[in-house]
Amino acid sequence: MFVIDANSKTPLHIQLYNEIKKDIIKNYKLGDKLPSTRKTASLYNLSKNTVKSAYSQLVVEGYIESYPQSGYKVMDTLNIDYSKIEGLNLGDNKDEEDYLYDFFPVRLEKGSFPLKIWKRIFNKVIDSSLDFGSYSCGQGEFELRVEIAKYLNDYRGVKCQASQIIIYDGFANSMALLANILKQDYSTFAIEHPGYHYALKVFDSYNYKIKKINVDENGLNIESLKSSNVKIVYITPAHQYPTGVAMPIANRQKLLDWAKEENALIIEDDYDSELRYTSRPIPSLQGLDANDRVIFLGTFSKSLSPAIRVSYIVLAKHLLPLYEKSFEFDIPKVSLMTQKTLEYFMKEGHWERHLRKIRTLNRKKHNLMEKLLIEKLGDTMKIESKGGGLAILINPIVPFDWKLLKELALKNKIKLYFAKKFVGDEWNAITLGFGGLKEIEIPKAISIFSKIWMQSIKK
Amino acid sequence: MFVIDANSKTPLHIQLYNEIKKDIIKNYKLGDKLPSTRKTASLYNLSKNTVKSAYSQLVVEGYIESYPQSGYKVMDTLNIDYSKIEGLNLGDNKDEEDYLYDFFPVRLEKGSFPLKIWKRIFNKVIDSSLDFGSYSCGQGEFELRVEIAKYLNDYRGVKCQASQIIIYDGFANSMALLANILKQDYSTFAIEHPGYHYALKVFDSYNYKIKKINVDENGLNIESLKSSNVKIVYITPAHQYPTGVAMPIANRQKLLDWAKEENALIIEDDYDSELRYTSRPIPSLQGLDANDRVIFLGTFSKSLSPAIRVSYIVLAKHLLPLYEKSFEFDIPKVSLMTQKTLEYFMKEGHWERHLRKIRTLNRKKHNLMEKLLIEKLGDTMKIESKGGGLAILINPIVPFDWKLLKELALKNKIKLYFAKKFVGDEWNAITLGFGGLKEIEIPKAISIFSKIWMQSIKK
C-alpha cells in the first residue's frame, strides 16, 4: 500500500506513478498483472483519470504494457530499467557521470558557451516581429548567410557570396545533400586514407564507387589521386583528419590543377581550421581556386557548440542551379530562432571575440597536455597528431597491451576513445580530447592516464 | 562625392557601404573599377580599415569582386540586384509582400505561434544548467521523447515508448534516414497515386524501385498493393494527400494483414491528422498494428510552427538495432535549446491547449472558406479535398482557361498554388490555403478569387 499525500505539491498522478514504479522494480516479475485502474482508483480514493495518467506514463516509459481485455502487464521485454533494454543505447548519458575524466575528442568546456549573450540576443529576436507561422527560407536566412560569407572572406580566405551559402544542421546531412545532388553527374568518390569515415559512409549510402587515397607527410597523395580516375575528392587540408597534416601550398595548387583539368570537384572540409595553436589558421583551398571547383564545408560545432546544430556549405557557383532544382531547396534545416540569434551574434562581433577566447583557452590546454604527455610517457609513444582541434592523438611505440589499457581505464574511471571509431578499422590511435576538460583537470587526468599507460607496456 | 557624417549614430563603414552601393546601382557598369581603398580612405578622411570593411561587405553581397593587382571591380555577372542573379531564387521572400492574399497551403497565422510562452520557457531552459559544449543525444532528448510518446498514446492512439522515438528536423530528412537504414533489406517502395511526391523523391534518390498505387474513395487500393509485390508502402491514412480521403477501418485491417503476411513495412505519415474539422481525429494505423510493421511519422510544422523544424519518427521496435548501427544514431538533428523548450512546452500542458486553439481557429476559417466557395462558385467546381489541414482543394467542372486564371491572379495580386507542385505532374487542383490568412481576410480573398475564377470559365 502506497502513501499518496493529497496535500503534497507533487500532483497525485506523479506520486502514484513514482510509487508504482518503485513497486514494480521491487516486487513484480515480467508479465505480472497490475491492478486495474478502477481498483487502484478506489483503493487510494483517486479519480480514474488520475490513475490512468499514472499508468499511461508507465506505458510510455516502457514499464508496463496495456493489453485489451486483460489490462496492464509488466513488460515481457524486461524493460524495467531503460539502460537494460537489449542492445539499446538510450542516450540519456547516464554513464558519463560515472567517469572521473572523459577524453571525448569533440567537446567544449560546458562553461565556454556564451550563454548570457545568446540569451540576450534570443530575447531580442523573439521580440522582433518574425513570422513563425511560415516556412523560412530553405537555403537559410539571407542575413545570416551574409554574416557567414563575411566571416569566411575575412578569416578563412574563402571567396564567396551569401548566395552560395546553404545553412545546414550538421556535417552528415550536408554531405548527404551533396551526394544526392551530384549523383546525376558523378559516380566516384575519393577520400583520404586514413580519413573521416562518416564522409565515406554518406557517399557509400548513395552508391558512389569509393576510392581511398593514401595520406603522406604532405597530406593526400596527389599522384595517387591522379591515377585513381575519380571525379570527386573529399579532403581536410587545413588539419588532416586524423593525421593533423596541413597540405602545403604546392600540393594545394596541384590539387586545384587536377580538378580543373579533370572537371572534378573538391569537397574541402574545413575541419578544425579555426583551432590552430602552433601556426596561424591556414587559408582555405577554396580561396585559391579560380575555376569554381571547390565546395567548402564549415561548422559551428567545434568552436561554438555541437548542441546548437548549425553548419554550412559554400557551394561552387555552377552547382547552384542543381541545388535549386532539388527538393531540399525549399526546406529549411535550422530553426528560424537559432538562425536569427546566430546572425546577430555574428553581426555584433561576439563570434570573433568568442573565437579568440576559445582558441586561447584550448591552446593552453593543448600545450599543457602535450607537455605532460612528453614528460610522463617519454619515448614510449609517438604523437600522431597535435597542434590543432580539440584532441591530441598518440600511439605506443613499444610492445603494448591494448586490452589491459582498456580494462585499466574502466577500473580507474577514465573514458578513452580510439581513432578507429571515426576512421574505420584500418588506423588507430588513442584520441585524447582536451576540449571538454578544464585546464585545472588536465594534470590529474593525464597523471591517471600515464599510470595505466605505463602498466600496459609489455615487459 | 558622398556625405559621410562623423557624428551620425550609423557607423562610418556602414554609411560608406550604403553610399557606394547606391552609387554602383546608379552610375556603374559591369566591370567598372572602384577607387582603391587607399584613395577612398584619403578622399573621405577615413581609416583604411573602415573602407576595407565597407568594401568587404559589398564583396560578400556580390556587388563587387576583388581582383589581385587590379583592385575592386563591379561584378560581371550583373549581380547588382540579388533578385536578378541568373536562375537564383535567393529566398528573401520579397515577392510575398507584393501580394494582397497568399493562399500558401502550409502556413499558420503569424500571430498563432505562442511567442510569449515559448520565450518564458526558453529563458528557463537557458538558465538551467545544460551542457552546450557537448553533443546532445543523437536520438533526441529522452525527456522530450517521453512527452511525445505520451501525447501520441493519449491523442493519436499510437502505442509506443520513448525509446522508439527519433527527433528529427523535418519530413524529408526523416524519410532519408528511413530510406538509408532500410535499403540493405528492402529495395521496393510504393506510394499513393496521387500522393506526396517529396516522399517518392527521397526513396528514389536512394535507388528504390518505385510503384504508384491508385487511390480510390477508400484511400490506397489494397488489391493493387497486393499485386504490386512491393515491401514498403508510404501512406497518409488519416487524411490522404491530396484527396483528403480517410482510410476506413476495414481497409486499415487489410493493410495490416498484408504487412504481416508479406513481412512488409508501412510508413504512416500522420499528415494533418491533428487538424480535423468535420470529425474527431482518426486514431493511427500504428495503434491497430500488433505485429510491429508500422513506422509512424509526425511533425510540429503544421500545428505549431514550420519555422522551428521539429518532427519525429516512431520506429517499429524491430528496426531499432538497425537505426543504432547507422551513423545517424550519434548525431542530433535539432538544437538542444529547441528540444528542451518544446519538452517543457508539452510538459506544462501548453501543447494540448495550443492544439485546441489552433484547431478551433482553423476550423472556423475552413468552414467560412468552404461556405463562401460554395456560395460563389456554385456548381462550376468540385471540392477535391476538405475537412482537414490548412487548405481546401478545388477543381473546375466546366471548360476552364487555366492560363487566364494564372494571369488574372497575378494581375489581382493574389498568390495561387497548384497541387501539381506537391503531387508531381499527374494530378492537379487549386490548393486554397486558409492557414496563413486571418479569418477576417477570407471573405475579401475569396471574393477576388471568385471573380477571376468566373472570368476564367470558357464561355
Confirm whether B385 is domain-assigned. yes
Residue B81 in this model has a pLDDT that exceeds 50: no
Confirm whether A150 is domain-assigned. yes
Confirm whether A40 is domain-assigned. yes
pLDDT confidence bin for A91, thresholds 50/70/90: very low
Confirm whether B207 is domain-assigned. yes
State the CATH number of the domain containing residue B248: 3.40.640.10
Query: Which residues in B lie closer than 8 A to residue A61 (C-beta atoms)?
Result: 146, 149, 161-162
Residue of B nearest to A207 (CA): B206
Confirm whether B101 is domain-assigned. no
Q: Is residue A343 domain-shared with residue A269, that is, in the same domain?
A: yes
Instruction: For residue A306, give the nearest of B134, B150, B310 by CB distance.
Output: B134
Q: Does B94 touch chain A (CB under 8 A)?
A: no
Residue B94 in this model has a pLDDT that exceeds 60: no
Query: Which residues in A lie closer than 8 A to residue B159 (C-beta atoms)?
Result: 66
Inter-chain contacts counted by CB atoms under 8 A, chains A and B? 242
Name the burial class of residue B406, with classes exposed (0-12), middle (13-18) and buried (19+) by CB atoms within 10 angstroms of its CB: middle
Strand pairing class (B71-74; B64-67): antiparallel
Query: Which residues in B lie closer than 8 A to residue A321 (C-beta atoms)?
Result: 87
Smallest CA–CA separation between A231 and chain B, in Å?
20
Q: What is the dihedral of CA B421, B423, B427, B430, to 10 degrees?
A: -50
Q: Which one has a higher pLDDT value, B156 or A371?
A: A371
Query: Which residues in B lie closer than 8 A to residue A73 (C-beta atoms)?
Result: none
Q: How far apart are CA A130 and CA B174, in angstroms?
A: 26
Tens of pLDDT along A120-134? 999 999 998 889 998
Q: Does A206 touch chain B (CB under 8 A)?
A: yes
Q: What is the DSSP string of B8-52?
A: SSS-HHHHHHHHHHHHHHHH--TTPBPPPHHHHHHHHT--HHHHH
Q: Is residue B137 domain-shared with residue B17, that is, in the same domain?
A: no
Residue of A nearest to B110 (CA): A133
pLDDT at position B97 is 56
Report the percentage of chain B scoring pLDDT > 90. Answer: 61
Residue A85 in this model has a pLDDT that exceeds 50: no
Report the pLDDT averaged over residues B195-218: 93
State the CATH number of the domain containing residue A429: 3.90.1150.10
Report the pLDDT averaged over residues A33-55: 86
Q: How far apart are CA B445 and CA B103, in angstroms?
A: 9
Interface list for B 44-73 with A (CB within 8 A) = 56-57, 59-62, 66
Q: Is residue B168 domain-shared with residue B306, that is, in the same domain?
A: yes
Query: Which residues in A lie closer than 8 A to residue B126 (C-beta atoms)?
Result: 115, 118-119, 122
Residue B93 in this model has a pLDDT that exceeds 50: no
pLDDT at position B25 is 74
pLDDT at position A61 is 67
Tens of pLDDT along A342-351? 999 999 999 9
Residue of B nearest to A358 (CA): B133
Smallest CA–CA separation between A59 and chain B, in Å?
7
Strand pairing class (B311-314; B165-168): antiparallel
Query: Which residues in A lie closer than 8 A to residue B171 (C-beta atoms)?
Result: 331
Report the pLDDT averaged over residues B423-441: 91
Residue of B nearest to A92 (CA): B142
Q: Three-state SS for B372?
A: helix
Residue of A nearest to B85 (CA): A163
Interface list for B 110-129 with A (CB within 8 A) = 110-113, 115, 118-119, 122-123, 126-127
Last residue of a domain, one of A56, A79, A102: A79
Cis, bond preceding B194 (omega within 30 deg of 0): yes
pLDDT at position A265 is 98
Query: Which residues in B lie closer than 8 A to residue A160 (C-beta atoms)?
Result: 60
State the CATH number of the domain containing residue B72: 1.10.10.10
pTM given for the model? 0.81
What is the ipTM, given to two decimal places? 0.79
Residue B301 in this model has a pLDDT that exceeds 60: yes
Q: Is residue A292 domain-shared with residue A339, that is, in the same domain?
A: yes
Q: Is residue A333 domain-shared with residue A303, that is, in the same domain?
A: yes
Last residue of a domain, one of A348, A374, A408: A348
Interface test with B, best of A53, A130, A161, A206 (most B CBs within 10 A): A161
From A28-32, A424-428, B183-187, B388-392, the region with the lowest mean pLDDT: A28-32
Residue A255 in this model has a pLDDT that exceeds 60: yes
Report the percentage of chain B scoring pLDDT > 70. Answer: 94
pLDDT at position B58 is 77
Q: Three-state SS for A240?
A: coil
Q: Which one has a higher pLDDT value, A459 or B293?
A: B293
CA-wise closest residue to B312 among B441, B459, B417, B173: B173
Confirm whether B121 is domain-assigned. yes
Residue A335 in this model has a pLDDT that exceeds 90: yes
Task: Answer whether B335 sits within 8 Å of A309, measured CB to CB.
Answer: yes
pLDDT at position B82 is 36
Q: Is residue A339 domain-shared with residue A364, that is, in the same domain?
A: no
Residue A97 in this model has a pLDDT that exceeds 80: no
Q: How far apart are CA B170 and CA A157, in angstroms?
A: 33
Interface list for A 400-429 with B (CB within 8 A) = none
Which phi and psi angles does B55 have, rounded to 5°?
-65, -40
Residue A57 in this model has a pLDDT that exceeds 80: no
Query: Which residues in A lie closer than 8 A to residue B82 (C-beta atoms)?
Result: 163
pLDDT confidence bin for B372, thresholds 50/70/90: very high
Report the pLDDT averaged over residues A334-355: 95
CA distances to A232, A279, A388 from A359, rounded to whole Å, are 32, 12, 9
Q: Is residue A31 domain-shared with residue A147, that is, in the same domain?
A: no
Q: Is residue B263 domain-shared with residue B122, that is, in the same domain?
A: yes
Residue B87 in this model has a pLDDT that exceeds 70: no
Query: Which residues in B lie closer than 8 A to residue A307 (C-beta atoms)?
Result: 130-136, 332, 335-337
Q: How far apart are CA B298 and CA B171, in angstroms?
A: 8
pLDDT at position B349 is 93
Q: Is residue A170 domain-shared with residue A241, that is, in the same domain?
A: yes
Instruction: For residue B169, give the nearest of A60, A169, A180 by CB distance.
Output: A169
Report the pLDDT averaged over residues B404-433: 91
Instruction: For residue A173, give the nearest of B88, B91, B173 by CB distance.
Output: B173
pLDDT at position B89 is 35
CA distances to B55, B145, B294, B310, B311 from B152, rounded to whole Å, are 54, 10, 14, 15, 13
Report the percentage of chain A scoring pLDDT > 70. Answer: 94
pLDDT confidence bin for B61, thresholds 50/70/90: low
Residue A148 in this model has a pLDDT that exceeds 60: yes
CA-wise closest residue to B234 among B275, B276, B203: B203
Q: What is the DSSP string of A388-438?
A: BTTEEEEEESS-B-HHHHHHHHHHTTEE--BTHHHH-TT---EEEE-TTS-
Residue of B nearest to A142 (CA): B92
Q: A214 forms bridges with which residues in the sheet?
A: A193
Query: Which residues in B lie closer than 8 A to residue A180 (C-beta atoms)?
Result: 205
Query: Which residues in B lie closer than 8 A to residue A358 (C-beta atoms)?
Result: none
CB B278 within 8 A of CB B367: no
Query: Which residues in B lie closer than 8 A to residue A107 (C-beta atoms)?
Result: 133-135
From A162-176, A270-284, B159-173, B398-412, the region with the lowest mean pLDDT: A270-284
pLDDT confidence bin for A190, thresholds 50/70/90: very high
Q: Is residue A319 domain-shared with residue A433, that is, in the same domain?
A: no
Q: Does B134 touch chain A (CB under 8 A)?
A: yes
Q: Is residue B342 domain-shared with residue B387, that is, in the same domain?
A: no
Task: Answer whether A307 sits within 8 Å of B59, measured CB to CB.
Answer: no
Alpha helices in A28-73 (DSSP H): 37-44, 48-60
pLDDT confidence bin for B76, thresholds 50/70/90: very low
CB A241 within 8 A of CB A195: yes
Q: Is residue A210 domain-shared with residue A66, that is, in the same domain?
A: no
Task: Answer whether B324 sits within 8 Å of A85, measured CB to CB.
Answer: no
Q: How far apart are CA A100 and CA B356, in angstroms?
A: 48
Confirm whether A429 is domain-assigned. yes
From B98-112, B309-323, B367-381, the region with the lowest mean pLDDT: B98-112
pLDDT confidence bin for B37, thresholds 50/70/90: confident
Report the pLDDT averaged over residues B226-231: 95
Q: What is the DSSP string of A156-197?
A: S-----GGGEEEES-HHHHHHHHHHHHTTT--EEEEEES--H
Mean pLDDT, chain A, rounded, equals 88
pLDDT at position B282 is 75
Full residue range of the structural domain in which residue A451 is found:
358-455
Query: Which residues in B lie closer than 8 A to residue A201 (C-beta atoms)?
Result: 327
Confirm whether A6 is domain-assigned. no
Residue A254 in this model has a pLDDT that exceeds 90: yes
Last residue of a domain, one of A327, A348, A369: A348
Residue B90 in this model has a pLDDT that exceeds 90: no
Q: How many CA atoms lie within 13 A of A373 on its CB side?
A: 24
Instruction: For residue B161, give the nearest of A61, A118, A205 by CB distance.
Output: A61
Interface test with B, best of A59, A82, A119, A135 (most B CBs within 10 A): A135
Q: How far apart are CA A223 and CA A203, in angstroms?
A: 23
Give how many domains chain B has, as a whole number. 3
Interface list for A 229-288 with B (CB within 8 A) = none
Task: Answer whether A139 sits within 8 Å of B201, measured CB to CB.
Answer: no
Cα A174-A176-A177 angle, rounded to 5 deg:
65
Residue B39 in this model has a pLDDT that exceeds 90: no
Task: Answer whether B133 sits within 8 Å of A113, measured CB to CB.
Answer: yes
pLDDT at position A37 is 87
